[in-house]
Structure 1
Amino acid sequence: MTSTAETPADRLVLEAVGFSLSTLPARARIAIAFSGGVDSSVLLDAAVRVAGASRCIALHVHHGLSVHADAWLAHCDAFTRERGVEFAAERVEVSRDAGVSIEAAARDARYRALDDMCASRGVATLWLAQHADDQAETVLLQLLRGAGLAGLAAMAPEYLPAGASATRVRPLLHLLRAQLEQYASARALHWIDDESNADTRYARNALRHEVTPALAVHFPGFRDALARTAAHAASAQRLLDALARIDMEDASRDEGRALSHDALLALDDDRALNLLRYWMRTLGLVAASSARLGDALRQLREIGAAGEGHGLRIDHASHALRSYRGLVYWESGDSSDPADETALAARAVSELAWQGESIWRLPQWRGTFVFAEAGDTAGDPDTIPSRVLQRAVLSARSRSGGERMRTSDAPGAPSRTLKNLFQERGIPAWKRDVPLLYIGGDLLFVPGLGVNRAALPEQIDEAESRVRIVWREDLLIA
C-alpha cells in the first residue's frame, strides 16, 4: 500500500522534478526514458505527480540482451497504464562486433531509439534518471581511462547532443541512489532488477559494487567531490569550446563540414587539437583518442597545406580523414580505399544518342548511368517518359557553376541553384562533383537531387512507358 506521509526523500525528489518542469514552456510534453528500473520508475512516478499524466510519455527501449526483456516490456506497459501515461517502445539490435563494448553499443542504440521516438512524437524534452552515484561512477571511469576534460565533465544536467531531436535533462542528478530507493519504498513502487547490473565483469558494475563502497567508508564525501570535479571540468571545457568556436570562424568551410588546411596548420598543436576535437563533435563523430588526433595532426603537418593527402592513414568511427585542395574532411569508409577526391579532376563531355540502352558507362567519372524500365509509375517523380531521352543527344558534363533546376511540379514553382539544393540535402561539397545529365541543352538529371522538372514536357500521356534514371558509382555496381 502506498504511503501518503511525506518523507525527506519524497520532498527532495518532487522538488528536483518541479525545478526541471519550471524551466519548460507551459503545457510542453515530457518524454521519460523508462527502463522499468528503480531510478526511472521514481522519475516517472514523480513526473506524473508534479506535471500530470497527460504531459508525460514513457519511452522504453527493448534491447533483447536479456531473456527477461519481454517481461520487462510488459511490466513497463502495465506501470504506465496504472498511471494513465502514454507508453511507446522500440526494439533495437545491439552490435556484437569484435572490439566493440556491448555496453557502449547498447547505449548508442538506446539513445538513437529514444531520439527517434521523441522526433516522431514532436517531443522536445527527454528526461533521464541518472543520479549522483551514476555521476560519481562516470567521473571515476573517465579518470581511470585517462579521459580529457570533456570526459571528466561527465553527465551534464541538461544538453542537446549534435543531431538529436530532444534536449536531454537529468532532474535527479544531484540526488543519491539511496534517496531514490527511499522514495520508491515509501511509494510502494514495483521495479525491475536487471541481472546484468550485478555482473562485475562490466567496469561500471565493478566500481559500483566493489570500489565505491570502500570509498564511502574512508571518504564519505567522495560523491560531492567528484561532482565538483565534473563541474570544474565542464567549466574548463566550455572555455575550450569558446576558443574552438573562434578558430572555427577562420577554419570552417562548407558550413562546418570541412576545415581549411591552411587555417588549421596555422594554429599551435594544443589549439589545433582542440579545434579538431570540437569540429568532430559538431559532426556527430565519437571522440577520438589523444594519440589518434596527435597522429592526424602530425600527418597533416607533414603533407603541408598545399599538398594532397593521398597518404593520410587516419581511420576513426567508420570514417577516414582526407585532405584535398586545401580542405580537411571526414569521409565514410577506410583510408586504404581510394578517396572520392580522385574523381574531382576536370572531365571531357561525354555524349550518347540514346536508343534504349540500359546502362551508360562513364569511366572518367568512375560510375554508370542506369536507365531502368519503370512500368506504370506516372506518379513517381523519379521517372520520366522514355521519349524524353530520345528528344536530343544526351551529354554528361561537369558542373561549371550557377546551374539551376526545378524539383517540384507545383504550378509556379521556382528553379533553384544546385548549390542550394545540395546544401539543403546535406550533401558535402566533395560529393557534389557528379556528372550532370543533359538532354540537348537542358539539364535533365542530377545525381543526389533527381530529375529537373523544368526539362519535362508539359503534357505527358500517363500510359506511355517510363524510365527511372539512377547514378551508380563503380563500387556499387554488381
Structure 2
Amino acid sequence: MTTPTDPSAERIVLDALGAALAQEPADARIAIAYSGGLDSTVLLDATVRIAGAARCVAFHIHHGLSANADRWLAHCEEHAAALGVSFAARHVDVRRDPGVSLEAAARDARYRALDALCDSEHVRRIWLAQHADDQAETVLLQLLRGAGLAGLAAMAPEYRPAGAAVTRVRPLLHVLRAQLEDYARARALRWIDDESNADTRFARNALRHHVLPQLAVHFPGFRDALARTAAHAAAAQRLVDELARLDLQAVASEDGQSLSRDALLAFGDERALNLLRYWMRALGLPAASTARLTDALRQLRDVHDDHGLRVDHAGQTLRSYRGQIYWEAGDSGDPADETALIERPVSELTWRGEPVWRLPAWRGTFVFTEVAAGDPLAAEPAAAIPATLLTNQRLRVRARSGGERMRCDAHGPSRTLKNLFQERGVPSWKRDVPLLFVDDLLLFVPLLGVNLTALDALHANRAKVVQRADEQGGAAERRIRIDWREDLLIA
C-alpha cells in the first residue's frame, strides 16, 4: 500500500488514464460518470489533466435515494464548472421488481440514464471509476453467489452490453483504492461520502468493511489474485460463447427468434444449457438462474404436448410450437393462440402511385410494385390488384384488435386471422403485423396475402373505378403487387 505522501500514486493514475486515452479516437469527447465520490472525483480530475477540460463532459445521476442527493448534485455541478468541464445530470426513479435488490435496481437505473445522456450528447463511450478493490469485491460476491464463468469474469476493462450503443470503459480497473486516496490528498480534492456506503446490510459493504481488511492481512496479494481469476474466467467465457454461437447458427431460425426443439435436445445437458444462456443474452433477456434453465430443459425433454410447456422468466414465457421453441411476451395462454396485441397509432395514406409507404412505428415498409402484363402474377387476383382499385383510395394501417377475418381461397369461406396463421404455421411472435385497409375493408395482411372478400367488394364498385380509369388514361390495365418488408436493422 502506498503512503499518503508517495508520489507514485499520482503517476500510476495518470499513466492508467493516458493508456485509456490512447485508445480513444483523436479529439473524441470523453464522457465521465461523475457521482461526486472519491473514485469518480479522481477520475474526472485526472482526465481533465491528460485530455483537457474541453474534451470532457461529466454526467451525474440523481437517484433520489438519499436526503443529501440534491446537495450532491449541486456539489458535482459546481466542481465541474470549476474545472471548466461540461456537465449534465438526470433524475431517475429507482423501481424494484420482486426479487431485485435495491443495489441492482439503482445500478440498472443509473446505467440506463447514463446511456440516455450519452445519446443526447452524441458520445458512444463512457468512462467509469471502478478500481481494483471494486473488481475484487465483485469476484468475491459472485463466488459467494455460486456464479458461473460470466459472473466470475466480473467487470471488463471495456464492455458494451448486447443491444446497447454505449461502450463502458474502466481505465482504473488495475488501480488500488488506496492509490486513488493518495492522489486525492496530493491534489487536495473535495469529494462527497455517500452514507449508504457504511451500511453493512448491503452485501458489498459487508465485504468491504469486514472481509477485505482481513484478507489484506493474511493474503496481501488477494486483489491481484482475484483479478487473475476474473481474467481467466473471461477468457473461458469467450470460448464457451464461441461454441454457443456456432450451436445457435445450427439450430436457430433465420431471424434467431426460435430454436429447433429436437436439435437443441440432441445436445448434452451442459451444452444445451450453455446455448440457452447465450440465446437469451442475444435476445436481450436478463440471465436466468441455473435452476430455472434446468427446469426449462427438463420440460423440453419430458413434456411432449406443446400446451404443457411453461417456463416464465422476466415477463416472458418459453413456449413450444410445431417443433420450435421461442420466448413470448407476457401470459398469452395457449402457445398457438394470439400473441399480445400491441396498440399502435393508425396511419393513413391517399395512394397516388407511391412505390413505398414507410411505417416507422412498425419498423417496416409496404412496397407497391407494378406487375408487367406478361407476368403470370398479373392473372392472379390474390397476387396483383388492379391499380384502379387503389388509386386515390384512402389506405389505412392499424394493429390487430382480435377477431379480424379474411378469405384467401377463392372458393372457401372467410376465416379468422388467428386460424389462418395457425394453419400456415406462423408462430405467435410473428403475428403482430400491420393490417392494410381500404377505408374499412381489410385488404392485405402480411404473411397471409390479399383478402379476396375485400377485392369482391371493391370490384362491386366497378362503375366508379372504370370512370376513374378513363379519366386517368388506361390506368385500369396496370396491376399492383403489395409486399411487406421488415427493417433489417432493429433499433
TM-score where L is the length of structure 2: 0.72
1:133 counterpart residue number: 133
The DSSP-based 3-state class of the residue aligned with 1:406 is strand
State the alpha-carbon separation in 1 of the partners of residues 346 and 151 from structure 2. 47
State the alpha-carbon separation in 2 of the partners of residues 430 and 197 from structure 1. 44
Counterpart pick for 1:341 among 315, 336, 357: 336
State the alpha-carbon separation in 1 of the partners of residues 226 and 114 from structure 2. 28
Supply the AA of the counterpart residue of 1:436: L
Task: Give 1:87-102 correspondences, 5 Å limit.
Answer: 87-102=87-102
2:299 counterpart residue number: 299
2:387 counterpart residue number: none
The DSSP-based 3-state class of the residue aligned with 2:308 is coil
State the alpha-carbon separation in 1 of the partners of residues 336 and 232 from structure 2. 43
State the alpha-carbon separation in 2 of the partners of residues 368 and 235 from structure 1. 41
2:393 counterpart residue number: none
1:32 counterpart residue number: 32
Measured after TM superposition, the shift of residue 71 of structure 1 is 0.5
Measured after TM superposition, the shift of residue 53 of structure 1 is 1.2
Counterpart pick for 1:406 among 334, 347, 357: 357
Measured after TM superposition, the shift of residue 203 of structure 1 is 0.3
Contact 2:273–2:297 (CA under 8 A) maintained in structure 1: yes
Change (3 A) 1:260 1:343: same
Supply the AA of the counterpart residue of 1:416: V
State the alpha-carbon separation in 2 of the partners of residues 250 and 237 from structure 1. 20
Contact 1:405–1:443 (CA under 8 A) maintained in structure 2: no
Contact 1:322–1:339 (CA under 8 A) maintained in structure 2: no
State the alpha-carbon separation in 1 of the partners of residues 359 and 300 from structure 2. 43
Change (3 A) 1:11 1:199: same
Q: Deviations over 1:325-371 (max 9, x none)?
A: 2222222214xx41563138xxxxxxxxxxxxxxxxxxxxx97999x
State the alpha-carbon separation in 1 of the partners of residues 272 and 342 from structure 2. 40
2:22 counterpart residue number: 22
Q: Tell which structure's C-alpha radius of gyration is larger.
A: 2
Length, aligned pairs only: 381
State the alpha-carbon separation in 2 of the partners of residues 446 and 89 from structure 1. 46
Supply the AA of the counterpart residue of 2:46: A
1:250 counterpart residue number: 250
Change (3 A) 1:60 1:441: closer
1:471 counterpart residue number: none
1:315 aligns with 2:312: yes
Measured after TM superposition, the shift of residue 117 of structure 1 is 1.1
1:214 counterpart residue number: 214
Change (3 A) 1:11 1:263: same
1:85 aligns with 2:36: no
Contact 2:342–2:432 (CA under 8 A) maintained in structure 1: no
What stretches of structure 1 of length at least 5 have no aligned partner?
Answer: 345-365, 371-379, 389-403, 422-427, 448-454, 458-478
Measured after TM superposition, the shift of residue 112 of structure 1 is 0.7
1:170 counterpart residue number: 170
Change (3 A) 1:368 1:240: closer
Change (3 A) 1:183 1:148: same
Q: Deviations over 1:53-93 (max 9, x none)?
A: 12111111110000000000001101110111111111111
Measured after TM superposition, the shift of residue 433 of structure 1 is 5.2
State the alpha-carbon separation in 1 of the partners of residues 92 and 359 from structure 2. 36
Measured after TM superposition, the shift of residue 408 of structure 1 is 7.0
Measured after TM superposition, the shift of residue 97 of structure 1 is 4.3
Task: Give 1:133-152 correspondences, 5 Å limit.
Answer: 133-152=133-152
1:470 counterpart residue number: none
Change (3 A) 1:441 1:73: closer
Measured after TM superposition, the shift of residue 445 of structure 1 is 7.6
Q: Deviations over 1:206-230 (max 9, x none)?
A: 0000000001101111111111111
Measured after TM superposition, the shift of residue 24 of structure 1 is 1.3
Measured after TM superposition, the shift of residue 415 of structure 1 is 4.7
Contact 1:321–1:328 (CA under 8 A) maintained in structure 2: yes
1:416 aligns with 2:411: no
Contact 1:30–1:56 (CA under 8 A) maintained in structure 2: yes
Which shows bigger deviation, 5-14 or 310-319? 5-14
Measured after TM superposition, the shift of residue 429 of structure 1 is 6.9
Supply the AA of the counterpart residue of 1:44: L
The DSSP-based 3-state class of the residue aligned with 1:193 is coil
Change (3 A) 1:124 1:331: same
1:234 counterpart residue number: 234
The DSSP-based 3-state class of the residue aligned with 1:67 is coil
Q: Deviations over 1:273-324 (max 9, x none)?
A: 00111111112222111111000011111235xx52x222311112111111
1:358 counterpart residue number: none
Change (3 A) 1:445 1:33: farther
Change (3 A) 1:7 1:313: same
Measured after TM superposition, the shift of residue 267 of structure 1 is 1.2
Supply the AA of the counterpart residue of 1:439: V
State the alpha-carbon separation in 2 of the partners of residues 27 and 369 from structure 1. 44
State the alpha-carbon separation in 2 of the partners of residues 242 and 153 from structure 1. 16
Change (3 A) 1:326 1:120: farther
State the alpha-carbon separation in 2 of the partners of residues 416 and 24 from structure 1. 42
1:123 aligns with 2:123: yes
Contact 2:338–2:428 (CA under 8 A) maintained in structure 1: no
The DSSP-based 3-state class of the residue aligned with 2:358 is coil
Supply the AA of the counterpart residue of 1:220: P
Contact 1:37–1:192 (CA under 8 A) maintained in structure 2: yes
State the alpha-carbon separation in 2 of the partners of residues 246 and 329 from structure 1. 19
Change (3 A) 1:369 1:48: closer
Supply the AA of the counterpart residue of 1:323: S
Task: Give 1:364-383 correspondences, 5 Å limit.
Answer: 382-383=347-348
1:438 counterpart residue number: 437
Q: RMSD of the TM alignment (CA)?
A: 3.1
Contact 2:328–2:429 (CA under 8 A) maintained in structure 1: no
Supply the AA of the counterpart residue of 2:328: E
Contact 2:251–2:259 (CA under 8 A) maintained in structure 1: yes
Change (3 A) 1:408 1:278: closer
The DSSP-based 3-state class of the residue aligned with 1:235 is helix
Percent of aligned pairs with the same residue?
65
State the alpha-carbon separation in 2 of the partners of residues 106 and 68 from structure 1. 16
1:186 counterpart residue number: 186
State the alpha-carbon separation in 1 of the partners of residues 184 and 35 from structure 2. 15
Supply the AA of the counterpart residue of 1:76: C
The DSSP-based 3-state class of the residue aligned with 2:318 is strand
State the alpha-carbon separation in 2 of the partners of residues 440 and 112 from structure 1. 42
Change (3 A) 1:339 1:196: farther
Contact 1:149–1:233 (CA under 8 A) maintained in structure 2: yes
What stretches of structure 2 of length at least 5 have no aligned partner?
Answer: 369-396, 398-426, 447-457, 459-467, 469-491
The DSSP-based 3-state class of the residue aligned with 1:322 is strand
Change (3 A) 1:48 1:369: closer
